[in-house]
Chain A
Amino acid sequence: MDRFKLLTKLSFVALLALTLALPCWGADTIKIGVIGPMQFVQGKGHWNGAMMAAEEINAAGGVALNGKKLKIELIQADSNEFINITDATNAMELLVTRDKVDFIVGGFRSEAVLAMQDIAMEYKTIFIGCGAAHPELCERVANDYDTYKYFFRGTPFNSKFLVKTCFIQMATVGAILKQSLGLEKVKVAIVAEKAMWVDPMIAAAEGFIPKMGMEVAGIWRPSPVATDVMAELSAIQRSEAQMIFTIFSSSVGIPFARQAGELKIPAVQVGINVEAQKEGFWQATQGMGDYVMTLNTYCPGVEYNELTKPFMDTYTKKYGEPPTYTADTYSAIKYAIVPAIEKTGTLDPDKLVAFMENDEHLVPSGKVAYYKDEQGRPTHDIKWGPGYLTSLGVQWQDGKQIGVWPYKWKASPDAPEITYKGIEPYKIAPWVVEKYKK
């Protein structure tokens, strides 16, 4: 009887030890949370890019860490951030507490990512943002490094550089208009959705447009989800603007492009129109979105470097459409997180951060390196410019996305001229030519 009791106790202890040790059995995977608005194209891009990276790495054996090969396990989290910021924070909370992910990639709307960032930082989880552009995300890193050092911007570059690139593209198109149409001064209508990330860009645009020798015809701020912009377009036409500088990330980009195209508003559209970055834009505008130009990260046929074509081809073949910029979760995992783990030999976030913030690496859209601010503090904000990340100007021509910038672009008078492989000349809409050509 005593022996029986002893055996029972020993079995219980063994079972307890087994149960407590169980989490260690799952430690042959690296968990990466992919968070984004999964019912929408942006979130699908997040997930698709991450899946592609995980499948490639796992197919090659996994991540090498201390003599072992660990597989990547992706955990999907629907932030629902278009509808409800609270859903986004809840989703992030679940990722870090219930799913206990090692890394997080994704996020789209700045308002949501700012909130999600706080949660990830509280749990010291490395979070690579792949969608939000607000500068504050990285200003927080500089101002409170110990708390926010686990955040890195993956894509896009912050809105100050977005607007800088837009201005360069606007100036390029303005010069083309002046030369081709014989215009003395180009009038620009600024149309920007009412959203947080846009506000600093408007002020910058008002200052820069006159410096580029152009004139601001007016500023319109429709709702991000406006479905009818007839009134705005009528007012823009009355203002006799020849160029419309658009700043849209939400659905308003579709009715604006469609209605402007259908009404043949005699003004070219340049700027940011996130909906125009997608393959579905053509159908959504019923084919009226021709000649719309937008800042974009990827364009079929355009190559930044030797990584671009394999990425574009594989993604397009796998998912039936070219990647949007949120698919840069692929780069975040394959070229940032995994090499950092393999080179440092650890999953310790502090050691990984120390490595990552000084690492420069090629990605399909250029080269990633991180800024330090004027005081030398790390910001984890990605560098913009020739040799790093510049993005593209993409114009819809005859139902296809065509890369039109950088086309013989010089960042400064002494800088070399840049034209990426696959870039073609910009085209002015025929009704604009008809209206203004002398």
Chain B
Amino acid sequence: MIADIIINSLINGSTYAMLAIGFSLIFGVARIVNIAHTAFYMVAAYCIYFATHKLGLPPVVGMLGGVVVATCLGLITYKIFIDPIREHEAAVLIATIALAMALQEVMLIVFTGDYLSVPALVSGYFSITGVKIFYQHLITFVAVLLILVILRAFLTKTRLGLAVRCTAQDREVANLMGMNESRVALITVGISVALAGFTGAVIAPLTIVEPFMWLHPLIMMMAVVVLGGLGSIKGSFIAAYMLGFAEALVVFLIPMGAFLKGSVALSIMIIVLLIRPEGLFGVVFEEER
């Protein structure tokens, strides 16, 4: 059972980590609570479905197309709806909620509410200590690690990455130092939405594609980000696996309460926040810097 719990923790955690990293990035830099983040993940999933089932293209092409479409859509909607109201955080929050719901309704109209699925990149499974794991889960786990490595390299080894980190630290000073804060935010949004699209591409074969598929991951993603510390990518990564572990524990130790796995994970988040309100690795409130 321990092997089951550990392996399932890693699988669940990888899924949440992929979503949370992109969200953390956009919040950390642009201070945008992008509720529509998982909606872009949904758009990417539908792109894959459309490409594979309607156009008959290979899954890889569908996935690349999904990432491109989600990224372009994210940049366009950011420029039109979010950028003009960026200074008003409450308005941005509501605008992103509205955007997510609008995308949901568009998918509902175009594809109806029928449950759909997309083929895996690599079908089949393998066993570790008797626990069966899909190859697609392994791809997800490897993808998370790859994203972390690439993101770290980008943030620490490139000038643009330096600009992103500076903007995250202090927007006003970064602006004064000659960095175009608005352009940096736009690029960060693009990277974040691309990550959401990539998550959709990797995870869609493991889930059901339907217009409401963005809701559950949103809740877990928010929990991961809050637990890890808003704006902390490292925190999001660790928190994702913590909550994944909590979910796996519930399913294996309390099978009758398997439906409660989400609630238990969220309860753990609340308990941690009561002890440490800024999250595990978050920066304490800006006024305290």
A29-73 CB mask vs B (1 if < 8 Å, else 0) is: 000000001011100000000000000000000000000000000
Contacts of B212 in A (CB 8 A): 83, 225
- Is A262 within 8 A of B251, CB to CB? no
Q: Which of B4-12, B26-34, B173-181, B268-276 contacts A (4 or more CB under 8 A)?
A: B4-12
Asked if A215 lies at the interface with its beta carbon under 8 angstroms from chain B, I say: no
A234 and B114 within 8 A (CB): no
Using a CB–CB cutoff of 8 Å, the interface residues on chain A facing chain B are: 37, 39-41, 82-83, 193-194, 218-228, 230-235, 237-238, 251, 254-255, 258-259, 262-263, 265, 275, 280, 283-286
Closest to B127 in A: A263
What's the nearest-Cβ distance from chain A to residue B250, in Å? 9
Selected from A37, A221, A286, the residue in CB contact (under 8 A) with B119 is A286
Contacts of B15 in A (CB 8 A): 228
Is A227 a contact of B216 with CB atoms below 8 Å?
A: yes
- Does B108 count as interface, using CB distance less than 8 angstroms? yes
| Partner pick for B137 among A222, A225, A227, A230, CB 8 A cutoff | A230
For the complex, what is the distance from the CA of A222 to the CA of B208, rounded to whole Å?
A: 15
Chain B residues near A285: list those with CB within 8 A.
117
Q: Tell whether, in the assembled complex, residue A258 and residue B117 are in contact, meaning their CB atoms are under 8 Å apart.
A: yes
Asked whether, in the complex, the Cβ of B213 is within 8 Å of the Cβ of A230, the reply is: no
B258 adjacent to A251 (CB under 8 Å): no
Q: Is B262 an interface residue (CB 8 A)?
A: yes
Point out the residues of chain B lying under 8 angstroms from A265, CB to CB.
132
Check A263 against B251 for contact (C-beta < 8 Å): no
B212 to chain A, nearest CB (A): 7
Q: How far is the CA of A223 from the CA of B261 in the complex (A)?
A: 9
Report B124-156 CB contacts with A as 1/0, cut-off 8 Å: 110000011110010000000000000000000
Say yes or no: is B1 at the interface (Cβ < 8 Å to chain A). Answer: yes
User: Does B4 lie within 8 Å of A251, measured CB to CB?
Assistant: no
Cβ A222 vs Cβ B258 within 8 A: yes
The one of B1, B120, B206, B257 in contact with A228, judged by C-beta atoms closer than 8 angstroms, is: B206
Cross-chain contact of B132 among A39, A83, A225, A234 (Cβ < 8 A): A234
Q: Is the CB of B206 within 8 A of A254?
A: no
Pick the contact of B114 from A223, A259, A280 — CB < 8 Å?
A: A280
B207 A235 Cβ-Cβ under 8 A: no
Are the C-beta atoms of A221 and B257 separated by less than 8 Å? yes
Establish whether residues A234 and B4, one from each chain, have CB atoms under 8 Å apart when the complex forms.
Answer: yes
Neighbouring B residues of A254 by C-beta, 8 Å: 115, 117, 208
| Min C-beta distance of B237 to chain A, whole Å | 19
> With the chains together, A219 CA to B262 CA distance in Å?
18
Chain A residues with CB under 8 A of B132 = 233-234, 237, 263, 265
Known: A39-B113, A262-B134, A286-B119. A227 touches B208 (CB 8 A): yes
Beta-carbon contact of B216 and A225 below 8 Å: yes
Q: 11 A–B contact pairs at CB < 8 A? A: A219-B256, A223-B261, A226-B258, A230-B8, A231-B251, A238-B1, A238-B4, A254-B117, A280-B114, A284-B208, A286-B117
In the assembled complex, which residues on chain A have CB atoms less than 8 Å from the CB atom of B251? 220, 231-232, 235
User: Which residues of the partner chain B approach A83 to less than 8 Å between Cβ atoms?
Assistant: 212
CB of B112 within 8 Å of the partner chain: yes
Q: How many A-B residue pairs have CB under 8 A?
A: 114
B259 touches A223 (CB 8 A): yes
Known: A40-B114, A280-B114, A286-B119. A227 touches B255 (CB 8 A): no
Chain A residues with Cβ under 8 A from B248's Cβ? 231
Closest-by-CB residue of B relative to A223 is B259
Known contacts A231-B251, A262-B134, A284-B208: does B259 contact A222 (CB below 8 Å)?
yes
Asked whether B259 lies within 8 Å of A227 as measured between CB atoms, the reply is no
Closest to A250 in B: B115
Is A39 a contact partner of B108 (Cβ separation < 8 A)? yes
Minimum C-beta distance from B34 to chain A (A): 22
Identify which of B132, B255, B262 gathers the most chain A CB atoms within 10 Å of its CB.
B255
Shortest CB-to-CB span from A235 to chain B, Å, is: 6
Q: Which residue of A lies closest to B49 (CB)?
A: A283
Q: Are B252 and A235 in contact (CB under 8 A)?
A: yes
Q: Return chain A residues, CB-CB under 8 Å to B210.
A: 251
> For window 25-84 of chain B, which residues contact chain A by CB distance below 8 Å?
53
Chain A min CB distance to B83 (Å): 31
6 new A-B contacts, CB < 8 A, other than A39-B108, A223-B261, A231-B251, are: A231-B247, A231-B248, A234-B252, A263-B134, A280-B116, A286-B117
Q: Which residue on B lies nearest to A281, using beta carbons?
A: B115
**CA of A235 to CA of B255 in the docked complex: distance in angstroms?**
8
The answer to whether A262 and B208 have CB atoms under 8 Å apart is: no
Inter-subunit contact A235/B113 (CB<8 Å): no
Residue of A39, A220, A283 near B256 (CB, 8 A) is A220
Distance to closest chain A CB from B14 (angstroms): 11
Say whether B207 contacts A255, CB under 8 Å: yes
List A contacts of B247 (CB < 8 A). 231
Q: What residues of chain A lie closer than 8 Å to B112, measured between beta carbons?
A: 39-40
Give the residues from 227 to 276 in chain B that come closer than 8 angstroms, CB to CB, to chain A.
247-248, 251-252, 255-259, 261-262
- Cβ-neighbour of B115 out of A222, A275, A286 (below 8 A): A275
Known: A227-B213, A251-B210, A263-B125. A232 touches B117 (CB 8 A): no
Report how far A240 CA is from B137 CA in the complex, Å: 24
From B113, B119, B120, B256, name the one whose CB has the most chain A CB atoms within 10 angstroms.
Answer: B113
Query: Considering only CB atoms, which chain B residue lies closest to A224 in the complex?
Result: B259
How far apart are B178's CB and chain A's nearest CB, in angstroms?
46
- Binary interface encoding of chain B residues 72-104 relative to chain A, with 1 for a CB under 8 A from any of its CBs, else 0: 000000000000000000000000000000000
Instruction: Report yes or no: A230 in contact with B256, Cβ–Cβ below 8 A.
Output: no
Q: Which A residues are CB-close (under 8 A) to B116? A: 280, 283-284
Query: In the complex, A249 Cα to B261 Cα: how many Å?
Result: 20
A194 to B250, CA, bound (A): 15
| Distance in Å: Cβ of A152 to nearest Cβ of chain B | 27
Judging by beta carbons under 8 Å apart, are A231 and B8 in contact? yes
* Cα(A270)–Cα(B258), bound, Å: 20
Contact of B255 among A41, A232, A237, A251 (CB under 8 A): A232
Chain A residues closer than 8 Å to B113, beta-carbon distance? 37, 39-41, 82
Q: Contact: A230 with B119, CB < 8 Å?
A: no
Find chain A residues with CB under 8 A from B123 CB.
Answer: 262, 286
Q: Which residue of A lies closest to B1 (CB)?
A: A238
Given A222-B259, A223-B262, A254-B208, is A231 in contact with B4 using a C-beta cutoff of 8 Å? yes
Q: Please measure, in the bound complex, the distance between the C-alpha atom of A237 and the C-alpha atom of B252, giving whole angstroms.
A: 12
Could you tell me the distance in whole angstroms from the C-beta of B77 to the nearest C-beta in chain A?
23
Decide if B134 touches A251 in the complex (CB within 8 Å).
Answer: no
Given contacts A227-B207, A230-B137, contact A280 B259 (CB under 8 A): no
